[in-house]
Chains A and B, each alone.
Chain A
Protein backbone atom coordinates (compact mmCIF):
# COMPACT_ATOMS: atom_id res chain seq x y z
CA UNK A 1 0.00 0.00 0.00
CA UNK A 2 1.12 3.50 -0.75
CA UNK A 3 4.48 3.15 -2.54
CA UNK A 4 5.46 6.29 -4.41
CA UNK A 5 8.36 7.58 -6.44
CA UNK A 6 10.02 10.72 -5.14
CA UNK A 7 12.88 12.80 -6.50
CA UNK A 8 14.39 15.76 -4.70
CA UNK A 9 17.57 17.78 -4.43
CA UNK A 10 19.20 17.59 -1.02
CA UNK A 11 22.14 19.93 -0.43
CA UNK A 12 22.54 20.29 -4.19
CA UNK A 13 22.56 16.58 -4.95
CA UNK A 14 19.68 14.79 -6.68
CA UNK A 15 18.12 11.70 -5.06
CA UNK A 16 15.38 9.46 -6.48
CA UNK A 17 13.76 6.71 -4.44
CA UNK A 18 10.58 4.64 -4.36
CA UNK A 19 9.27 5.00 -0.82
CA UNK A 20 6.25 4.47 1.42
CA UNK A 21 3.92 7.48 1.25
CA UNK A 22 3.88 7.52 5.06
CA UNK A 23 7.67 8.00 5.32
CA UNK A 24 8.34 11.43 6.82
CA UNK A 25 10.93 13.69 5.25
CA UNK A 26 12.97 13.37 8.47
CA UNK A 27 13.13 9.58 8.18
CA UNK A 28 13.82 9.83 4.45
CA UNK A 29 16.85 12.04 5.11
CA UNK A 30 18.18 9.82 7.90
CA UNK A 31 17.37 6.32 6.69
CA UNK A 32 17.09 6.50 2.89
CA UNK A 33 19.98 8.82 2.08
CA UNK A 34 21.93 8.53 5.35
CA UNK A 35 22.08 12.22 6.21
CA UNK A 36 21.89 11.76 9.97
CA UNK A 37 22.68 15.36 10.86
CA UNK A 38 18.94 16.07 10.97
CA UNK A 39 17.79 14.90 14.40
CA UNK A 40 14.39 13.49 15.30
CA UNK A 41 13.18 14.43 18.77
CA UNK A 42 9.44 14.50 19.37
CA UNK A 43 8.03 13.43 15.99
CA UNK A 44 5.02 15.70 16.40
CA UNK A 45 6.29 19.14 15.52
CA UNK A 46 7.09 20.54 18.96
CA UNK A 47 10.85 20.28 19.52
CA UNK A 48 12.22 21.69 16.25
CA UNK A 49 15.27 19.37 16.18
CA UNK A 50 14.31 18.10 12.71
CA UNK A 51 14.00 21.57 11.13
CA UNK A 52 15.32 21.74 7.55
CA UNK A 53 14.99 24.25 4.72
CA UNK A 54 12.49 23.29 1.99
CA UNK A 55 12.82 25.61 -1.00
CA UNK A 56 14.62 28.04 1.29
CA UNK A 57 12.04 28.11 4.09
CA UNK A 58 12.24 26.36 7.44
CA UNK A 59 9.95 23.38 7.93
CA UNK A 60 9.57 20.57 10.45
CA UNK A 61 10.74 17.52 8.52
CA UNK A 62 8.72 15.26 10.87
CA UNK A 63 5.52 17.01 9.71
CA UNK A 64 6.12 16.56 5.99
CA UNK A 65 5.90 13.34 4.08
CA UNK A 66 8.94 12.77 1.89
CA UNK A 67 6.67 12.42 -1.17
CA UNK A 68 5.59 16.02 -0.56
CA UNK A 69 9.16 17.18 -1.11
CA UNK A 70 9.04 15.77 -4.64
CA UNK A 71 10.76 18.34 -6.88
CA UNK A 72 11.89 20.45 -3.92
CA UNK A 73 15.26 21.81 -2.92
CA UNK A 74 16.04 20.59 0.63
CA UNK A 75 18.90 21.90 2.78
CA UNK A 76 19.98 20.06 5.91
CA UNK A 77 22.66 20.93 8.46
CA UNK A 78 25.18 19.05 6.29
CA UNK A 79 24.42 21.55 3.53
CA UNK A 80 25.23 24.52 5.76
CA UNK A 81 28.75 23.32 6.40
CA UNK A 82 31.53 24.31 4.00
CA UNK A 83 33.91 21.45 3.05
CA UNK A 84 36.38 20.81 5.90
CA UNK A 85 35.40 24.00 7.73
CA UNK A 86 32.67 25.46 9.91
CA UNK A 87 30.25 28.17 8.89
CA UNK A 88 30.34 31.54 10.65
CA UNK A 89 27.22 30.58 12.61
CA UNK A 90 28.65 27.20 13.60
CA UNK A 91 31.90 28.82 14.80
CA UNK A 92 29.87 31.34 16.81
CA UNK A 93 28.03 28.46 18.52
CA UNK A 94 31.38 27.03 19.66
CA UNK A 95 32.74 30.41 20.79
CA UNK A 96 29.61 31.29 22.77
CA UNK A 97 28.83 27.91 24.37
CA UNK A 98 25.77 27.61 22.14
CA UNK A 99 25.65 23.85 22.53
CA UNK A 100 26.26 21.16 25.10
CA UNK A 101 24.86 17.75 24.09
CA UNK A 102 24.29 18.93 20.51
CA UNK A 103 20.97 17.19 19.91
CA UNK A 104 19.01 20.38 19.19
CA UNK A 105 21.89 22.09 17.37
CA UNK A 106 21.07 21.10 13.76
CA UNK A 107 17.56 22.54 14.11
CA UNK A 108 18.88 25.65 15.85
CA UNK A 109 21.40 26.24 13.04
CA UNK A 110 18.75 25.88 10.32
CA UNK A 111 16.29 28.18 12.08
CA UNK A 112 18.96 30.83 12.66
CA UNK A 113 20.24 30.52 9.08
CA UNK A 114 16.78 31.56 7.84
CA UNK A 115 16.55 34.37 10.43
CA UNK A 116 19.99 35.83 9.64
CA UNK A 117 19.35 35.58 5.89
CA UNK A 118 16.11 37.59 6.17
CA UNK A 119 17.06 39.78 9.16
CA UNK A 120 20.82 40.49 9.07
CA UNK A 121 20.66 42.78 12.13
CA UNK A 122 18.18 41.12 14.52
CA UNK A 123 17.40 42.37 18.01
CA UNK A 124 17.75 39.98 20.93
CA UNK A 125 13.94 39.85 21.06
CA UNK A 126 13.77 38.80 17.39
CA UNK A 127 16.34 36.06 17.99
CA UNK A 128 14.42 34.78 21.00
CA UNK A 129 11.14 34.83 19.09
CA UNK A 130 12.72 32.91 16.20
CA UNK A 131 14.00 30.31 18.67
CA UNK A 132 10.61 29.68 20.32
CA UNK A 133 10.12 26.85 17.84
CA UNK A 134 13.29 25.03 18.91
CA UNK A 135 13.71 23.37 22.31
CA UNK A 136 17.08 23.04 24.06
CA UNK A 137 17.31 21.19 27.37
CA UNK A 138 21.00 21.91 28.12
CA UNK A 139 21.98 25.50 27.61
CA UNK A 140 19.14 27.62 28.95
CA UNK A 141 19.30 29.39 25.55
CA UNK A 142 21.60 32.24 26.71
CA UNK A 143 24.58 30.85 24.80
CA UNK A 144 22.48 30.20 21.69
CA UNK A 145 21.12 33.75 21.67
CA UNK A 146 24.63 35.13 22.16
CA UNK A 147 25.92 32.94 19.31
CA UNK A 148 23.18 34.18 16.97
CA UNK A 149 23.90 37.84 17.73
CA UNK A 150 27.66 37.24 17.45
CA UNK A 151 27.24 35.48 14.10
CA UNK A 152 25.03 38.29 12.83
CA UNK A 153 27.76 40.79 13.75
CA UNK A 154 30.51 38.75 12.07
CA UNK A 155 28.44 38.28 8.91
CA UNK A 156 27.69 42.00 8.71
CA UNK A 157 31.38 42.85 9.22
CA UNK A 158 32.38 40.40 6.49
CA UNK A 159 29.77 41.95 4.21
CA UNK A 160 31.11 45.45 4.86
CA UNK A 161 34.69 44.38 4.12
CA UNK A 162 33.55 42.83 0.87
CA UNK A 163 31.81 46.00 -0.30
CA UNK A 164 34.65 48.39 0.68
Chain B
Protein backbone atom coordinates (compact mmCIF):
# COMPACT_ATOMS: atom_id res chain seq x y z
CA UNK B 1 0.00 0.00 0.00
CA UNK B 2 2.62 2.52 -1.05
CA UNK B 3 2.19 4.91 -3.97
CA UNK B 4 4.28 4.45 -7.10
CA UNK B 5 7.21 6.89 -7.41
CA UNK B 6 6.54 10.37 -8.79
CA UNK B 7 8.19 13.76 -9.07
CA UNK B 8 6.82 16.35 -6.67
CA UNK B 9 6.30 20.00 -7.56
CA UNK B 10 5.28 22.69 -5.09
CA UNK B 11 4.54 25.91 -7.03
CA UNK B 12 4.05 29.14 -5.07
CA UNK B 13 1.92 30.93 -7.69
CA UNK B 14 -1.10 30.01 -9.80
CA UNK B 15 0.76 30.95 -12.99
CA UNK B 16 3.61 28.60 -12.11
CA UNK B 17 1.14 25.78 -11.36
CA UNK B 18 -0.62 26.30 -14.70
CA UNK B 19 2.70 26.20 -16.56
CA UNK B 20 3.67 22.96 -14.80
CA UNK B 21 0.33 21.34 -15.70
CA UNK B 22 0.69 22.44 -19.32
CA UNK B 23 4.24 21.11 -19.61
CA UNK B 24 4.41 17.90 -17.55
CA UNK B 25 3.14 14.60 -18.98
CA UNK B 26 0.86 12.42 -16.81
CA UNK B 27 0.64 15.06 -14.09
CA UNK B 28 -2.07 15.39 -11.49
CA UNK B 29 -3.07 18.18 -9.12
CA UNK B 30 -2.80 17.51 -5.37
CA UNK B 31 -5.30 19.50 -3.30
CA UNK B 32 -6.23 18.21 0.17
CA UNK B 33 -5.26 14.67 -0.80
CA UNK B 34 -8.06 13.01 1.16
CA UNK B 35 -9.31 11.13 -1.93
CA UNK B 36 -6.32 11.24 -4.27
CA UNK B 37 -3.74 9.89 -1.81
CA UNK B 38 -5.81 6.78 -0.90
CA UNK B 39 -6.19 6.13 -4.64
CA UNK B 40 -2.44 6.54 -5.07
CA UNK B 41 -1.75 4.26 -2.10
CA UNK B 42 -3.96 1.60 -3.72
CA UNK B 43 -2.25 2.36 -7.07
CA UNK B 44 -5.62 3.02 -8.69
CA UNK B 45 -3.87 6.23 -9.69
CA UNK B 46 -0.25 6.26 -10.87
CA UNK B 47 1.21 9.62 -11.86
CA UNK B 48 4.61 10.75 -13.07
CA UNK B 49 4.22 14.25 -11.61
CA UNK B 50 2.27 15.60 -8.69
CA UNK B 51 1.61 19.35 -8.65
CA UNK B 52 0.83 20.32 -5.04
CA UNK B 53 -1.43 23.39 -4.80
CA UNK B 54 -1.11 23.68 -1.00
CA UNK B 55 1.45 26.49 -1.31
CA UNK B 56 -0.90 28.73 -3.34
CA UNK B 57 -2.23 31.23 -0.81
CA UNK B 58 -4.12 33.04 -3.60
CA UNK B 59 -6.46 30.03 -3.89
CA UNK B 60 -7.50 30.25 -0.22
CA UNK B 61 -10.19 32.35 1.40
CA UNK B 62 -13.83 33.38 1.39
CA UNK B 63 -14.93 36.70 -0.12
CA UNK B 64 -18.47 38.08 0.15
CA UNK B 65 -19.60 39.84 -3.01
CA UNK B 66 -22.87 41.27 -4.27
CA UNK B 67 -25.38 38.43 -3.92
CA UNK B 68 -22.64 35.84 -4.10
CA UNK B 69 -19.88 34.23 -2.14
CA UNK B 70 -16.50 33.36 -3.65
CA UNK B 71 -14.62 30.47 -2.07
CA UNK B 72 -11.02 29.80 -3.11
CA UNK B 73 -10.56 26.25 -4.37
CA UNK B 74 -7.90 25.44 -1.76
CA UNK B 75 -9.96 26.64 1.20
CA UNK B 76 -10.05 23.79 3.72
CA UNK B 77 -13.43 22.22 4.40
CA UNK B 78 -12.99 22.79 8.13
CA UNK B 79 -12.31 26.51 7.56
CA UNK B 80 -15.48 26.79 5.47
CA UNK B 81 -17.49 24.91 8.10
CA UNK B 82 -16.39 27.27 10.88
CA UNK B 83 -16.47 30.53 8.87
CA UNK B 84 -18.92 33.09 10.35
CA UNK B 85 -19.72 34.37 6.80
CA UNK B 86 -20.68 30.87 5.67
CA UNK B 87 -22.79 30.26 8.77
CA UNK B 88 -24.60 33.57 8.23
CA UNK B 89 -25.00 33.65 4.43
CA UNK B 90 -24.88 30.02 3.34
CA UNK B 91 -25.91 27.93 6.36
CA UNK B 92 -26.67 24.96 4.09
CA UNK B 93 -22.95 24.70 3.37
CA UNK B 94 -22.03 24.65 7.07
CA UNK B 95 -24.67 21.99 7.77
CA UNK B 96 -23.58 19.82 4.82
CA UNK B 97 -19.91 19.98 5.83
CA UNK B 98 -20.61 18.27 9.14
CA UNK B 99 -21.39 15.18 7.04
CA UNK B 100 -18.22 15.36 4.93
CA UNK B 101 -15.77 12.73 6.18
CA UNK B 102 -14.42 13.44 9.65
CA UNK B 103 -12.79 16.42 11.29
CA UNK B 104 -9.35 14.95 10.58
CA UNK B 105 -10.12 14.78 6.85
CA UNK B 106 -11.92 18.16 6.77
CA UNK B 107 -8.80 19.76 8.30
CA UNK B 108 -6.98 18.86 5.05
CA UNK B 109 -9.72 18.39 2.46
CA UNK B 110 -10.61 21.33 0.21
CA UNK B 111 -13.76 22.39 -1.64
CA UNK B 112 -11.96 22.43 -4.99
CA UNK B 113 -10.65 18.93 -4.45
CA UNK B 114 -14.11 17.63 -3.61
CA UNK B 115 -15.62 19.13 -6.78
CA UNK B 116 -12.80 17.87 -9.01
CA UNK B 117 -13.03 14.37 -7.51
CA UNK B 118 -16.79 14.42 -8.25
CA UNK B 119 -17.94 11.46 -6.19
CA UNK B 120 -21.67 10.98 -6.97
CA UNK B 121 -22.49 10.74 -3.26
CA UNK B 122 -20.40 13.74 -2.15
CA UNK B 123 -22.11 16.53 -0.24
CA UNK B 124 -20.27 19.62 -1.52
CA UNK B 125 -21.23 19.18 -5.20
CA UNK B 126 -24.87 18.99 -4.07
CA UNK B 127 -24.55 22.30 -2.21
CA UNK B 128 -22.92 23.83 -5.30
CA UNK B 129 -25.77 22.56 -7.50
CA UNK B 130 -28.33 23.97 -5.06
CA UNK B 131 -26.64 27.39 -5.06
CA UNK B 132 -26.17 27.51 -8.89
CA UNK B 133 -22.40 27.67 -8.47
CA UNK B 134 -19.99 28.98 -11.09
CA UNK B 135 -16.68 27.13 -11.20
CA UNK B 136 -13.64 29.26 -12.10
CA UNK B 137 -11.08 27.12 -13.88
CA UNK B 138 -7.46 28.16 -14.42
CA UNK B 139 -4.88 27.09 -16.99
CA UNK B 140 -2.14 28.71 -19.12
CA UNK B 141 -5.00 29.96 -21.34
CA UNK B 142 -6.35 32.06 -18.46
CA UNK B 143 -9.53 31.66 -16.41
CA UNK B 144 -12.79 30.29 -17.79
CA UNK B 145 -16.11 29.92 -16.00
CA UNK B 146 -18.27 26.80 -16.01
CA UNK B 147 -21.86 26.76 -14.74
CA UNK B 148 -22.09 23.96 -12.20
CA UNK B 149 -24.80 22.04 -14.07
CA UNK B 150 -22.33 21.70 -16.95
CA UNK B 151 -19.37 20.79 -14.75
CA UNK B 152 -19.98 17.05 -14.29
CA UNK B 153 -19.51 14.89 -17.38
CA UNK B 154 -20.04 11.32 -16.21
CA UNK B 155 -19.14 8.95 -13.38
CA UNK B 156 -16.40 10.72 -11.38
CA UNK B 157 -15.58 12.79 -14.45
CA UNK B 158 -15.71 16.55 -14.98
CA UNK B 159 -15.32 18.96 -17.88
CA UNK B 160 -11.86 19.94 -16.58
CA UNK B 161 -9.13 19.45 -19.20
CA UNK B 162 -5.98 17.62 -18.00
CA UNK B 163 -4.04 20.91 -17.78
CA UNK B 164 -6.79 22.78 -15.92
CA UNK B 165 -7.43 23.26 -12.20
CA UNK B 166 -10.25 24.81 -10.20
CA UNK B 167 -9.29 28.26 -8.87
CA UNK B 168 -12.49 29.35 -7.12
CA UNK B 169 -16.20 28.65 -6.73
CA UNK B 170 -18.92 31.31 -6.75
CA UNK B 171 -22.14 30.47 -4.88
CA UNK B 172 -25.27 32.48 -5.69
CA UNK B 173 -26.74 33.50 -2.33
CA UNK B 174 -30.39 33.32 -1.37
CA UNK B 175 -32.23 36.12 0.39
CA UNK B 176 -31.33 36.41 4.11
CA UNK B 177 -33.87 34.49 6.18
CA UNK B 178 -34.33 31.69 3.64
CA UNK B 179 -34.86 28.19 4.96
CA UNK B 180 -32.52 25.28 4.29
CA UNK B 181 -32.58 21.56 4.92
CA UNK B 182 -29.99 18.81 4.51
CA UNK B 183 -30.64 15.11 4.97
CA UNK B 184 -28.63 12.11 3.89
CA UNK B 185 -28.68 8.43 4.67
CA UNK B 186 -25.32 6.78 5.29
CA UNK B 187 -24.56 3.55 7.14
CA UNK B 188 -22.13 5.32 9.47
CA UNK B 189 -21.36 8.97 10.29
CA UNK B 190 -18.74 10.20 7.83
CA UNK B 191 -19.42 7.55 5.18
CA UNK B 192 -20.48 8.49 1.70
CA UNK B 193 -24.28 8.60 1.62
CA UNK B 194 -26.49 6.11 -0.22
CA UNK B 195 -28.62 9.12 -1.11
CA UNK B 196 -29.26 12.64 0.13
CA UNK B 197 -31.51 15.65 -0.40
CA UNK B 198 -30.88 19.37 -0.11
CA UNK B 199 -33.73 21.90 0.11
CA UNK B 200 -33.81 25.70 -0.05
CA UNK B 201 -37.01 27.72 0.44
CA UNK B 202 -37.63 31.46 0.23
CA UNK B 203 -41.05 32.08 1.70
CA UNK B 204 -42.85 35.43 1.65
CA UNK B 205 -44.76 36.94 4.57
CA UNK B 206 -47.98 35.69 2.95
CA UNK B 207 -46.71 32.09 3.33
CA UNK B 208 -46.31 31.83 -0.45
CA UNK B 209 -43.12 30.23 -1.75
CA UNK B 210 -41.16 32.82 -3.75
CA UNK B 211 -38.39 30.45 -4.70
CA UNK B 212 -37.72 26.75 -4.12
CA UNK B 213 -34.73 24.50 -4.67
CA UNK B 214 -34.56 20.73 -4.30
CA UNK B 215 -31.37 18.82 -5.14
CA UNK B 216 -30.66 15.09 -4.81
CA UNK B 217 -27.25 13.47 -4.57
CA UNK B 218 -26.05 9.86 -4.62
CA UNK B 219 -28.78 9.24 -7.19
CA UNK B 220 -26.99 9.88 -10.49
CA UNK B 221 -23.37 10.57 -11.49
CA UNK B 222 -23.83 14.26 -10.61
CA UNK B 223 -26.25 16.05 -8.28
CA UNK B 224 -29.78 16.30 -9.71
CA UNK B 225 -32.07 19.31 -9.41
CA UNK B 226 -35.69 18.14 -9.12
CA UNK B 227 -37.22 20.79 -11.36
CA UNK B 228 -40.72 19.31 -11.16
CA UNK B 229 -40.66 19.70 -7.38
CA UNK B 230 -39.30 23.26 -7.59
CA UNK B 231 -42.07 24.19 -10.07
CA UNK B 232 -44.71 22.52 -7.89
CA UNK B 233 -43.69 24.59 -4.84
CA UNK B 234 -42.97 28.00 -6.40
CA UNK B 235 -45.79 30.53 -6.25
CA UNK B 236 -47.94 28.29 -4.05
CA UNK B 237 -48.75 28.51 -0.34
CA UNK B 238 -46.51 26.17 1.64
CA UNK B 239 -48.33 23.41 3.48
CA UNK B 240 -48.00 19.70 4.15
CA UNK B 241 -49.68 18.70 0.91
CA UNK B 242 -47.31 20.88 -1.15
CA UNK B 243 -44.33 19.22 0.52
CA UNK B 244 -45.88 15.80 -0.05
CA UNK B 245 -46.35 16.50 -3.76
CA UNK B 246 -42.83 17.90 -4.15
CA UNK B 247 -41.32 14.87 -2.39
CA UNK B 248 -43.33 12.55 -4.63
CA UNK B 249 -41.73 14.30 -7.61
CA UNK B 250 -38.31 13.43 -6.16
CA UNK B 251 -39.27 9.77 -6.49
CA UNK B 252 -39.60 10.14 -10.27
CA UNK B 253 -35.88 9.68 -10.88
CA UNK B 254 -33.89 6.79 -12.33
CA UNK B 255 -31.28 6.20 -9.63
CA UNK B 256 -28.14 4.10 -9.97
CA UNK B 257 -28.10 0.54 -8.59
CA UNK B 258 -24.91 -0.77 -7.03
CA UNK B 259 -23.74 -3.11 -4.26
CA UNK B 260 -24.68 -0.53 -1.61
CA UNK B 261 -28.34 -0.06 -2.59
CA UNK B 262 -30.80 -0.89 -5.33
CA UNK B 263 -32.29 1.80 -7.53
CA UNK B 264 -35.71 1.20 -5.98
CA UNK B 265 -34.33 1.73 -2.47
CA UNK B 266 -32.63 4.94 -3.56
CA UNK B 267 -35.92 6.14 -5.08
CA UNK B 268 -37.57 5.55 -1.72
CA UNK B 269 -34.75 7.41 0.08
CA UNK B 270 -35.05 10.31 -2.39
CA UNK B 271 -38.68 10.80 -1.46
CA UNK B 272 -38.26 10.40 2.31
CA UNK B 273 -35.13 12.57 2.53
CA UNK B 274 -36.67 15.27 0.29
CA UNK B 275 -39.65 15.45 2.60
CA UNK B 276 -37.41 15.81 5.68
CA UNK B 277 -35.19 18.42 3.99
CA UNK B 278 -38.19 20.46 2.82
CA UNK B 279 -39.78 20.31 6.28
CA UNK B 280 -36.55 21.55 7.88
CA UNK B 281 -36.28 24.31 5.28
CA UNK B 282 -39.89 25.38 5.92
CA UNK B 283 -39.35 25.44 9.65
CA UNK B 284 -36.15 27.47 9.34
CA UNK B 285 -37.97 29.91 7.07
CA UNK B 286 -40.47 30.35 9.89
CA UNK B 287 -43.31 28.18 8.55
CA UNK B 288 -44.75 25.14 10.28
CA UNK B 289 -45.89 22.99 7.34
Contacts and interface: CB of A to CB of B under 8 A. Distances in A.
B2 A22 contact: yes
A141 interface: no
Contact of B107 (A2, A58, A70, A129): A58
The B interface, classified by DSSP as helix, strand, loop or mixed, is loop
Given A64-B33, A111-B104, A43 B41 contact: yes
Interface string A108-147: 0001001000000000000001101100000000000000
A73 B156 CA distance: 35
A42 to B, nearest CB: 8
A147 B10 CA distance: 41
A106 to B, nearest CB: 13
B103 A58 contact: yes
A122 B260 CA distance: 34
Contacts of B4: 22
B189 A45 contact: no
A1 B5 contact: yes
B101 interface: yes
Contact of B41 (A48, A57, A62): A62
Contacts of A114: 103
- Interface size range on A against B: 20 to 34
A39 interface: no
B50 A21 contact: yes
Interface string B24-52: 00000000011001101110000000101
Nearest to A20: B5
Interface in A56-71: 57-60, 62-65, 67-68, 70
A63 B113 CA distance: 14
Nearest to A133: B102
A51 B101 CA distance: 14
B54 interface: yes
Contacts of B1: 43-44
Q: Tell me which of A1, A22, A63, A64 has the highest count of chain B C-beta atoms within 10 A of its own C-beta.
A: A63
A114 to B, nearest CB: 7
B78 A2 contact: no
A16 to B, nearest CB: 17
Contact of B5 (A22, A24, A133): A22
Interface of B: 1-8, 10, 33-34, 37-38, 40-42, 50, 52, 54, 78, 101-105, 107-108, 188-190
Interface of A: 1-2, 4, 20-22, 24, 27, 43-45, 48, 51, 57-60, 62-65, 67-68, 70, 111, 114, 129-130, 132-133
Given A1-B7, A22-B5, 4 more contacts: A24-B2, A44-B38, A57-B78, A58-B104
| 5 A-B pairs closest in CB distance | A133-B102, A21-B8, A44-B38, A43-B1, A58-B104
